[in-house]
A = this chain, B = another copy of it.
Amino acid sequence: MMFVAAWFFQLRDSLRARFEALERTAAGRERLDAERLDAGKPGLFVLTPWRREEGGGGEMALLREGRLFEKAAVHVSHVYGPVPEALTNGGGGAAWENLPDDALFEAAGISVILHPRNPHVPAAHMNTRHIRIRTGDGGEIRAFFGGGADLTPMLKRYRDENHEDVKTFHAALKEACDTHPAVDYEAFRDWCARYFHLPHRGEARGMGGIFYDMWQSGDFDADFAFTKRVGESFGRVYETIAKRRIGTRWSEAEKREQRKWRGRYAEFNLLYDRGTRFGLRTGGNVEAILSSLPPDALWR
């Protein structure tokens, strides 16, 4: 599955180039809010490779304090080796249960988190991954894909099913899903709504998107093509929406509202997000895991 991992790294490069180009074309911050912000330089991703002792590793790519993005992350990883115990004792879910003692795994994936400066530009997240579990002598036990993409507008007036940005985003994901004969877009969209939900507030984290896990149709080539499509569509549709909103000036009250919704975002990630909680409890790369947190938050 080397070529699958290689493709995630390629997608990372193309998204990084896309987001850095957006940074260059975006006006400096002084155009948006002359009174309160310095002129900003276009942001650049800083790459930090990391190695995993048991096998594999990855690269974090973080952009901080850019013009368009206050914080953006595009992380990739390709890890393999014996199945970690933390996954098999219930912590990893059904995919990791009832495995032989000598089971090996291989996982590759990408994780994108975008927290723009301008409250009119939505935050967004996308990740896709491919996982294979084998016996010690190489026999395949199971292989599956997982992932998702969702949009989190940071002003109440954009948090509306009928808002142009929300419709554009859902339409792009629907189109990506429709390229695969076995993908049920509505099911993936419902899954997303159930997952990105804050029960204690009775509130959705954002306006949804798609979410799927432990998924495979039986046709590897089609599944991989779908995974590619989700990543590419996400990059394109986010660029479309960002360009639509980047020139809109914001008020102090709108910045404050953005930081309030960012607080909800942090609540979700720390209270409920499986990847975050699981990663932190099992000694994952803390910096990579917590880079999903918003650049700031407000609970007043």
Q: Is the CB of A300 within 8 A of B64?
A: yes
Question: Of A64, A266, A299, which is in contact with the most chain B CB atoms at under 10 Å from its CB?
Answer: A299
Copies, count: 2
- Choice from B271, B291, B294, B299 contacting A277 with Cβ under 8 Å: B271
Task: Kindly list chain B residues whose C-beta atoms are within 8 Å of the C-beta of A200.
Answer: 280-281, 286, 289
- Choice from B199, B277, B286 contacting A201 with Cβ under 8 Å: B286
A15–B285 Cα distance when bound, in Å, is: 42
Those of A253-271 within 8 Å (CB) of chain B: 259, 263, 266-267, 270-271
A166 beta carbon closer than 8 Å to chain B? no
Question: Of A201, A286, A296, which is in contact with the most chain B CB atoms at under 10 Å from its CB?
Answer: A296
A65 beta carbon closer than 8 Å to chain B? yes
A71 beta carbon closer than 8 Å to chain B? yes
Q: How distant is A15 from chain B, measured CB to nearest CB, in Å?
A: 21
Residues of A within 8 A of B (CB): 64-65, 70-71, 199-201, 259, 263, 266-267, 270-271, 277, 280-281, 286, 289-291, 293-300
Which are the 5 A-B pairs with shortest beta-carbon distances? A270-B270, A200-B280, A293-B299, A297-B297, A296-B298
With A70-B300, A267-B290 already in contact, 20 other A-B pairs whose C-beta atoms are closer than 8 Å: A64-B300, A65-B300, A201-B286, A263-B297, A266-B266, A266-B270, A266-B297, A266-B299, A267-B270, A270-B270, A270-B271, A271-B271, A271-B277, A294-B299, A295-B298, A295-B299, A295-B300, A296-B296, A296-B297, A296-B298
